[in-house]
A = this chain, B = another copy of it.
Protein backbone atom coordinates (compact mmCIF):
# COMPACT_ATOMS: atom_id res chain seq x y z
CA UNK A 1 0.00 0.00 0.00
CA UNK A 2 1.44 3.36 -1.03
CA UNK A 3 0.47 6.70 0.44
CA UNK A 4 -3.12 7.72 -0.44
CA UNK A 5 -3.59 10.46 -3.02
CA UNK A 6 -6.82 11.90 -1.64
CA UNK A 7 -9.22 12.87 -4.41
CA UNK A 8 -6.66 12.50 -7.17
CA UNK A 9 -7.19 10.08 -10.04
CA UNK A 10 -4.31 7.61 -9.74
CA UNK A 11 -3.01 5.68 -12.75
CA UNK A 12 -0.51 2.82 -12.40
CA UNK A 13 2.09 2.47 -15.17
CA UNK A 14 4.10 -0.68 -15.86
CA UNK A 15 7.13 1.46 -16.72
CA UNK A 16 9.34 -1.47 -17.71
CA UNK A 17 6.88 -3.01 -20.22
CA UNK A 18 7.07 -2.71 -24.00
CA UNK A 19 9.87 -2.76 -26.53
CA UNK A 20 11.39 0.48 -25.18
CA UNK A 21 10.61 0.55 -21.43
CA UNK A 22 11.14 3.82 -19.43
CA UNK A 23 12.50 5.66 -22.49
CA UNK A 24 8.96 5.65 -23.91
CA UNK A 25 6.62 5.04 -20.98
CA UNK A 26 7.85 7.98 -18.85
CA UNK A 27 7.71 10.62 -21.64
CA UNK A 28 4.38 9.05 -22.69
CA UNK A 29 2.94 9.51 -19.21
CA UNK A 30 4.32 13.08 -19.18
CA UNK A 31 2.53 13.84 -22.47
CA UNK A 32 -0.73 12.42 -21.14
CA UNK A 33 -0.39 14.47 -17.94
CA UNK A 34 0.12 17.63 -19.99
CA UNK A 35 -2.99 16.89 -22.07
CA UNK A 36 -5.32 15.54 -19.38
CA UNK A 37 -3.95 17.33 -16.30
CA UNK A 38 -5.93 20.48 -17.01
CA UNK A 39 -9.22 18.64 -16.73
CA UNK A 40 -8.38 16.44 -13.75
CA UNK A 41 -6.06 16.15 -10.75
CA UNK A 42 -3.86 13.23 -11.72
CA UNK A 43 -1.25 11.13 -9.96
CA UNK A 44 0.90 8.32 -11.35
CA UNK A 45 2.31 5.21 -9.71
CA UNK A 46 5.43 4.39 -11.69
CA UNK A 47 6.26 0.69 -11.22
CA UNK A 48 9.83 -0.26 -12.15
CA UNK A 49 13.52 0.38 -11.65
CA UNK A 50 13.92 3.55 -9.56
CA UNK A 51 17.27 4.66 -11.03
CA UNK A 52 16.07 4.35 -14.62
CA UNK A 53 12.78 6.07 -13.81
CA UNK A 54 14.52 8.92 -11.95
CA UNK A 55 16.83 9.53 -14.90
CA UNK A 56 13.81 9.94 -17.19
CA UNK A 57 11.78 11.94 -14.64
CA UNK A 58 14.53 14.55 -14.40
CA UNK A 59 13.57 15.57 -17.93
CA UNK A 60 9.88 15.79 -16.98
CA UNK A 61 9.53 17.88 -13.78
CA UNK A 62 5.72 18.16 -14.03
CA UNK A 63 5.38 14.40 -14.08
CA UNK A 64 7.98 14.07 -11.33
CA UNK A 65 5.83 16.27 -9.08
CA UNK A 66 2.76 14.15 -9.81
CA UNK A 67 4.32 10.69 -9.40
CA UNK A 68 5.32 8.09 -6.87
CA UNK A 69 7.94 5.53 -7.88
CA UNK A 70 7.26 1.97 -6.74
CA UNK A 71 10.64 0.33 -7.11
CA UNK A 72 11.28 -3.21 -8.24
CA UNK A 73 14.20 -4.77 -10.07
CA UNK A 74 12.12 -7.59 -11.55
CA UNK A 75 10.63 -7.31 -15.02
CA UNK A 76 8.80 -9.56 -17.42
CA UNK A 77 10.35 -9.83 -20.87
CA UNK A 78 8.33 -9.54 -24.09
CA UNK A 79 8.84 -13.22 -24.97
CA UNK A 80 8.43 -14.71 -21.49
CA UNK A 81 5.79 -17.47 -21.34
CA UNK A 82 2.69 -16.19 -19.51
CA UNK A 83 2.49 -19.42 -17.47
CA UNK A 84 5.95 -18.64 -16.13
CA UNK A 85 5.37 -14.89 -15.77
CA UNK A 86 2.34 -15.28 -13.50
CA UNK A 87 4.40 -17.26 -11.00
CA UNK A 88 6.86 -14.39 -10.52
CA UNK A 89 5.47 -12.05 -7.88
CA UNK A 90 7.06 -8.64 -7.46
CA UNK A 91 7.62 -7.86 -11.11
CA UNK A 92 6.72 -4.35 -12.29
CA UNK A 93 3.63 -5.76 -14.06
CA UNK A 94 2.56 -7.78 -11.04
CA UNK A 95 2.93 -4.77 -8.75
CA UNK A 96 1.14 -2.44 -11.16
CA UNK A 97 -1.89 -4.72 -11.48
CA UNK A 98 -1.90 -5.34 -7.73
CA UNK A 99 -2.05 -1.58 -7.10
CA UNK A 100 -5.43 -1.61 -8.90
CA UNK A 101 -6.59 -4.57 -6.79
CA UNK A 102 -5.63 -2.75 -3.56
CA UNK A 103 -7.35 0.40 -4.87
CA UNK A 104 -4.13 2.42 -4.74
CA UNK A 105 -4.71 3.07 -8.45
CA UNK A 106 -7.86 3.32 -10.55
CA UNK A 107 -6.32 1.83 -13.71
CA UNK A 108 -3.16 0.24 -15.02
CA UNK A 109 -1.44 0.73 -18.41
CA UNK A 110 1.15 -1.67 -19.81
CA UNK A 111 2.93 -1.98 -23.16
CA UNK A 112 4.34 -5.33 -22.06
CA UNK A 113 3.78 -8.98 -22.93
CA UNK A 114 0.04 -9.30 -23.76
CA UNK A 115 -0.26 -12.91 -22.67
CA UNK A 116 1.29 -12.15 -19.29
CA UNK A 117 -0.88 -9.04 -18.86
CA UNK A 118 -3.97 -11.09 -19.70
CA UNK A 119 -3.13 -14.03 -17.44
CA UNK A 120 -1.96 -11.89 -14.53
CA UNK A 121 -4.96 -9.55 -14.70
CA UNK A 122 -7.33 -12.52 -14.56
CA UNK A 123 -5.41 -14.02 -11.66
CA UNK A 124 -5.16 -10.85 -9.58
CA UNK A 125 -8.30 -8.88 -10.46
CA UNK A 126 -10.71 -11.74 -11.45
CA UNK A 127 -13.53 -11.49 -14.01
CA UNK A 128 -16.61 -9.33 -13.45
CA UNK A 129 -19.14 -12.09 -14.12
CA UNK A 130 -18.84 -15.80 -13.49
CA UNK A 131 -19.52 -16.87 -17.07
CA UNK A 132 -16.91 -14.53 -18.52
CA UNK A 133 -13.95 -16.76 -19.20
CA UNK A 134 -11.35 -14.30 -20.38
CA UNK A 135 -11.24 -10.56 -21.01
CA UNK A 136 -12.13 -9.30 -24.46
CA UNK A 137 -9.74 -6.83 -26.06
CA UNK A 138 -11.27 -3.75 -27.67
CA UNK A 139 -9.50 -1.40 -30.04
CA UNK A 140 -10.11 1.98 -31.64
CA UNK A 141 -10.82 1.83 -35.38
CA UNK A 142 -10.72 4.92 -37.62
CA UNK A 143 -13.94 5.38 -39.60
CA UNK A 144 -15.81 8.06 -41.53
CA UNK A 145 -17.18 9.53 -38.28
CA UNK A 146 -13.85 9.64 -36.46
CA UNK A 147 -13.08 6.65 -34.27
CA UNK A 148 -15.10 3.49 -33.74
CA UNK A 149 -14.63 0.62 -31.29
CA UNK A 150 -14.14 -3.01 -32.36
CA UNK A 151 -14.09 -6.05 -30.08
CA UNK A 152 -12.97 -8.78 -29.50
CA UNK A 153 -9.71 -8.45 -31.43
CA UNK A 154 -7.85 -11.42 -30.14
CA UNK A 155 -8.55 -12.68 -26.65
CA UNK A 156 -11.13 -15.39 -27.37
CA UNK A 157 -10.77 -17.67 -30.39
CA UNK A 158 -14.49 -18.33 -30.60
CA UNK A 159 -17.41 -16.68 -28.84
CA UNK A 160 -20.95 -17.92 -28.30
CA UNK A 161 -24.08 -15.76 -28.48
CA UNK A 162 -23.99 -14.90 -24.77
CA UNK A 163 -20.39 -13.72 -25.00
CA UNK A 164 -21.14 -11.63 -28.10
CA UNK A 165 -23.87 -9.85 -26.14
CA UNK A 166 -21.45 -9.27 -23.26
CA UNK A 167 -19.03 -7.77 -25.79
CA UNK A 168 -21.84 -5.47 -26.99
CA UNK A 169 -22.49 -4.30 -23.42
CA UNK A 170 -18.81 -3.76 -22.61
CA UNK A 171 -18.01 -2.20 -25.98
CA UNK A 172 -20.86 0.29 -25.65
CA UNK A 173 -19.77 1.26 -22.10
CA UNK A 174 -16.18 1.69 -23.31
CA UNK A 175 -17.15 3.76 -26.33
CA UNK A 176 -19.39 6.01 -24.23
CA UNK A 177 -16.64 6.59 -21.65
CA UNK A 178 -13.76 7.18 -24.07
CA UNK A 179 -15.40 8.68 -27.17
CA UNK A 180 -18.18 10.58 -25.39
CA UNK A 181 -21.06 9.13 -27.43
CA UNK A 182 -24.07 8.84 -25.10
CA UNK A 183 -25.82 5.90 -26.73
CA UNK A 184 -23.42 4.22 -29.16
CA UNK A 185 -24.88 2.32 -32.10
CA UNK A 186 -23.86 -1.35 -32.06
CA UNK A 187 -23.50 -3.81 -34.94
CA UNK A 188 -22.57 -7.49 -35.10
CA UNK A 189 -20.02 -8.35 -37.79
CA UNK A 190 -21.40 -10.86 -40.28
CA UNK A 191 -21.20 -11.97 -43.92
CA UNK A 192 -24.44 -10.21 -44.85
CA UNK A 193 -27.13 -8.04 -43.33
CA UNK A 194 -30.16 -10.35 -43.54
CA UNK A 195 -31.38 -12.20 -40.42
CA UNK A 196 -30.61 -15.62 -41.94
CA UNK A 197 -26.96 -14.84 -42.67
CA UNK A 198 -24.01 -16.20 -40.70
CA UNK A 199 -23.57 -19.01 -38.19
CA UNK A 200 -25.73 -19.89 -35.23
CA UNK A 201 -23.94 -17.77 -32.64
CA UNK A 202 -24.18 -14.46 -34.51
CA UNK A 203 -27.80 -15.13 -35.42
CA UNK A 204 -28.74 -15.96 -31.83
CA UNK A 205 -26.98 -12.84 -30.49
CA UNK A 206 -28.66 -10.77 -33.24
CA UNK A 207 -32.10 -12.16 -32.31
CA UNK A 208 -31.61 -11.40 -28.61
CA UNK A 209 -30.25 -7.89 -29.20
CA UNK A 210 -33.15 -7.20 -31.59
CA UNK A 211 -35.63 -8.06 -28.84
CA UNK A 212 -34.17 -5.19 -26.83
CA UNK A 213 -34.60 -5.03 -23.08
CA UNK A 214 -30.88 -4.50 -22.45
CA UNK A 215 -30.95 -0.76 -23.05
CA UNK A 216 -28.56 -1.05 -25.98
CA UNK A 217 -28.79 0.88 -29.25
CA UNK A 218 -28.58 -2.14 -31.54
CA UNK A 219 -28.38 -1.51 -35.28
CA UNK A 220 -28.15 -5.05 -36.68
CA UNK A 221 -25.63 -7.00 -38.74
CA UNK A 222 -22.80 -5.10 -40.43
CA UNK A 223 -20.18 -6.31 -42.94
CA UNK A 224 -16.41 -6.00 -43.15
CA UNK A 225 -16.44 -2.70 -45.02
CA UNK A 226 -18.71 -1.19 -42.35
CA UNK A 227 -15.72 -1.23 -39.99
CA UNK A 228 -14.77 1.94 -41.89
CA UNK A 229 -18.17 3.26 -42.93
CA UNK A 230 -19.16 4.60 -39.52
CA UNK A 231 -22.63 3.04 -39.90
CA UNK A 232 -22.23 1.92 -36.28
CA UNK A 233 -19.97 3.05 -33.41
CA UNK A 234 -19.23 -0.36 -31.92
CA UNK A 235 -18.60 -3.50 -33.98
CA UNK A 236 -18.92 -6.78 -32.09
CA UNK A 237 -17.27 -10.00 -33.25
CA UNK A 238 -15.51 -13.09 -31.95
CA UNK A 239 -11.78 -12.81 -31.23
CA UNK A 240 -10.75 -14.96 -34.18
CA UNK A 241 -12.55 -12.89 -36.78
CA UNK A 242 -11.76 -9.61 -35.01
CA UNK A 243 -8.05 -10.32 -34.84
CA UNK A 244 -7.92 -11.30 -38.52
CA UNK A 245 -9.98 -8.26 -39.57
CA UNK A 246 -7.65 -5.97 -37.58
CA UNK A 247 -4.49 -7.42 -39.09
CA UNK A 248 -6.05 -7.46 -42.56
CA UNK A 249 -6.82 -3.75 -42.24
CA UNK A 250 -3.30 -3.02 -40.99
CA UNK A 251 -1.89 -5.11 -43.84
CA UNK A 252 -4.02 -3.25 -46.38
CA UNK A 253 -2.89 0.13 -45.04
CA UNK A 254 0.77 -0.91 -45.14
CA UNK A 255 0.42 -2.36 -48.65
CA UNK A 256 -1.22 0.78 -50.01
CA UNK A 257 1.36 2.97 -48.26
CA UNK A 258 4.09 0.96 -50.02
CA UNK A 259 2.39 1.33 -53.41
CA UNK A 260 1.96 5.04 -52.77
CA UNK A 261 5.64 5.42 -51.92
CA UNK A 262 6.59 3.58 -55.11
CA UNK A 263 4.18 5.75 -57.12
CA UNK A 264 5.79 8.95 -55.83
CA UNK A 265 9.22 7.59 -56.76
CA UNK A 266 8.22 6.45 -60.25
CA UNK A 267 8.92 9.71 -62.15
CA UNK A 268 10.29 13.21 -61.53
CA UNK A 269 6.76 14.63 -61.94
CA UNK A 270 5.35 12.22 -59.40
CA UNK A 271 8.22 13.00 -57.03
CA UNK A 272 7.58 16.73 -57.24
CA UNK A 273 3.87 16.03 -56.77
CA UNK A 274 4.61 14.05 -53.64
CA UNK A 275 6.72 16.89 -52.25
CA UNK A 276 4.01 19.47 -52.91
CA UNK A 277 1.35 17.30 -51.29
CA UNK A 278 3.53 16.08 -48.42
CA UNK A 279 1.95 18.22 -45.68
CA UNK A 280 -1.53 17.08 -46.65
CA UNK A 281 -0.36 13.47 -46.92
CA UNK A 282 1.10 13.64 -43.41
CA UNK A 283 -2.24 14.80 -42.01
CA UNK A 284 -3.86 11.89 -43.79
CA UNK A 285 -1.29 9.36 -42.56
CA UNK A 286 -2.04 10.42 -38.99
CA UNK A 287 -5.69 9.43 -39.46
CA UNK A 288 -4.71 5.82 -40.13
CA UNK A 289 -1.70 5.74 -37.77
CA UNK A 290 -2.28 2.88 -35.29
CA UNK A 291 -0.75 5.14 -32.63
CA UNK A 292 -3.82 7.38 -32.78
CA UNK A 293 -6.04 4.55 -31.60
CA UNK A 294 -3.47 3.02 -29.22
CA UNK A 295 -4.82 1.76 -25.89
CA UNK A 296 -6.97 -1.36 -25.91
CA UNK A 297 -8.86 -2.18 -22.74
CA UNK A 298 -9.05 -5.73 -21.40
CA UNK A 299 -12.80 -5.74 -20.87
CA UNK A 300 -14.66 -7.81 -18.30
CA UNK A 301 -12.13 -7.62 -15.46
CA UNK A 302 -12.80 -6.21 -12.01
CA UNK A 303 -10.55 -3.24 -12.67
CA UNK A 304 -9.35 -1.12 -15.58
CA UNK A 305 -6.45 -2.62 -17.53
CA UNK A 306 -5.18 -0.96 -20.70
CA UNK A 307 -2.87 -2.65 -23.19
CA UNK A 308 -0.60 -0.42 -25.30
CA UNK A 309 1.11 -1.69 -28.45
CA UNK A 310 4.50 -3.11 -27.45
CA UNK A 311 6.28 -1.01 -30.05
CA UNK A 312 4.43 2.23 -29.23
CA UNK A 313 6.43 5.48 -29.15
CA UNK A 314 5.76 8.19 -26.53
CA UNK A 315 2.83 9.85 -28.36
CA UNK A 316 1.10 6.50 -28.96
CA UNK A 317 1.72 5.44 -25.34
CA UNK A 318 0.28 8.75 -24.12
CA UNK A 319 -2.93 7.92 -26.01
CA UNK A 320 -3.18 4.62 -24.13
CA UNK A 321 -2.75 6.54 -20.84
CA UNK A 322 -5.54 8.91 -21.93
CA UNK A 323 -7.83 5.94 -22.54
CA UNK A 324 -7.09 4.75 -18.99
CA UNK A 325 -7.83 8.22 -17.57
CA UNK A 326 -11.12 8.53 -19.50
CA UNK A 327 -12.28 5.13 -18.31
CA UNK A 328 -11.18 5.72 -14.72
CA UNK A 329 -13.04 9.06 -14.61
CA UNK A 330 -16.26 7.59 -16.04
CA UNK A 331 -19.06 5.41 -14.71
CA UNK A 332 -17.93 2.74 -17.13
CA UNK A 333 -17.57 -0.09 -14.60
CA UNK A 334 -20.98 0.60 -13.05
CA UNK A 335 -22.52 0.82 -16.52
CA UNK A 336 -21.19 -2.62 -17.37
CA UNK A 337 -22.23 -4.12 -14.03
CA UNK A 338 -25.78 -2.81 -14.43
CA UNK A 339 -26.06 -4.01 -18.03
CA UNK A 340 -24.66 -7.44 -17.18
CA UNK A 341 -27.24 -7.71 -14.38
CA UNK A 342 -29.98 -6.87 -16.90
CA UNK A 343 -28.53 -9.52 -19.20
CA UNK A 344 -28.64 -12.25 -16.57
CA UNK A 345 -32.29 -11.33 -15.96
CA UNK A 346 -33.10 -11.41 -19.69
CA UNK A 347 -30.91 -14.41 -20.46
CA UNK A 348 -29.99 -16.32 -17.30
CA UNK A 349 -26.63 -18.06 -17.23
CA UNK A 350 -28.37 -21.43 -17.13
CA UNK A 351 -29.84 -20.56 -20.52
CA UNK A 352 -26.51 -19.33 -21.77
CA UNK A 353 -24.85 -22.59 -20.78
CA UNK A 354 -27.43 -24.39 -22.87
CA UNK A 355 -26.09 -22.57 -25.91
CA UNK A 356 -23.25 -24.29 -27.72
CA UNK A 357 -20.00 -23.43 -25.88
CA UNK A 358 -17.93 -24.15 -28.92
CA UNK A 359 -14.89 -22.41 -27.52
CA UNK A 360 -14.44 -24.42 -24.34
CA UNK A 361 -11.87 -26.83 -25.73
CA UNK A 362 -10.16 -24.46 -28.10
CA UNK A 363 -9.69 -21.78 -25.47
CA UNK A 364 -8.18 -24.08 -22.89
CA UNK A 365 -4.87 -24.22 -24.69
CA UNK A 366 -4.70 -20.49 -25.20
CA UNK A 367 -5.62 -19.23 -21.78
CA UNK A 368 -2.10 -18.24 -20.93
CA UNK A 369 -0.68 -17.87 -24.41
CA UNK A 370 0.47 -14.59 -25.85
CA UNK A 371 -2.12 -12.81 -27.95
CA UNK A 372 -0.73 -10.16 -30.22
CA UNK A 373 -3.01 -7.16 -30.50
CA UNK A 374 -1.23 -5.67 -33.45
Contact = CB atoms under 8 A, between A and B. Distances in A.
Interface stretch (A262-270, A307-315, A331-339): A262-270
A158 interface: yes
Classify the interface of chain A: helix, strand, loop or mixed.
helix
Interface residues of A, number: 76
A279 to B, nearest CB: 7
Interface stretch (A48-56, A211-219, A283-291, A317-325): A283-291
A244 B247 contact: no
A314 to B, nearest CB: 25
Interface in A189-227: 189-192, 194, 196-200, 203, 223-227
Contacts of A1: none
Interface in A128-147: 142-144
Contact of A263 (B192, B196, B277, B366): B277
Contacts of A253: 252, 256
Contact of A144 (B142, B190, B255, B260): B255
B199 A227 contact: no
A358 B360 CA distance: 14
Interface of A: 142-144, 154, 157-158, 189-192, 194, 196-200, 203, 223-229, 237, 239-241, 243-256, 258-260, 262-264, 266-267, 269-270, 272-281, 283-284, 287-288, 358-359, 361-362, 365-366, 369-372
Q: Name the 3 nearest CB pairs between A and B, nearest first.
A: A224-B247, A273-B277, A225-B251
